[in-house]
Amino acid sequence: MMFIRSERLFLRPAWPEDRDELLSRIADERVVRNLAHAPWPYTGEDARTFIEAPQVHRLPSFLVTVPDPHGARIIGGCGLSPHDDEVNLGYWITPAEQGRGYATEAARSLLGLARVLGHQRIVAHHYIDNLPSGRVLEKVGFRRTGRVVERFSQGRGYASPSREHEVVFEAPADCDGNDAMSRRRAA
């Protein structure tokens, strides 16, 4: 089981007791419409299925939480997943927490882990009508590949134009993270 601690966030696997809180954070059409694999409406059964999905060591998924004196509240999710024989980075942040840099911090942390896990290239996509997501990707070092493809969204119920981005790592990383993002290049 993997965990990531960043400056303000704690990324951790989902647990059965997270079901209701997860559902309350993601069951918002503004979130789900920008995800490829989350259905709308998002139900308790969908949350349970996500929580019970087996973790794959090189393709982990996390809940994004913000620690506070009363525990840690869920504000989103992020993870690595397979997409067309590549490794895809995805994330979401609940609307009440957007605009605070949490998506950037979570994506940057996940990229560092991806490099430590030995991935050499990571892709990410955003629907072209979701410009804030594209800005997050660029802030953490992704570069546009020039590809825009129709990508189906379960939340939308139809395919929409999606812009592809990539990060290519030049060298493997060490575990302390000191140089985890220092040797990136756009391919």
- Give the pLDDT score at 184: 46
For 150, phi then psi, to 5°, come to -75, 125
pLDDT in tens, 158-178: 999 999 999 999 866 555 555
- Give the pLDDT score at 174: 59
Instruction: Indicate the average pLDDT of the chain.
Output: 92
- Give the pLDDT score at 187: 42
CA 173 – CA 124 distance, rounded (Å)? 20
Q: Is the pLDDT of residue 179 over 60?
A: no
Q: Which residues are registered as beta bridge partners of 169?
A: 184
- Average pLDDT over every residue of 44-58: 96
Q: Is the pLDDT of residue 182 over 80?
A: no
- Average pLDDT over every residue of 76-100: 97
Domains of the chain: 4-185 (3.40.630.30)
Q: What residues contact residue 98 under an 8 Å CB cut-off, 6+ apart? A: 132
- Give the pLDDT score at 120: 96
Tokens 């395919």 -> residue:
159
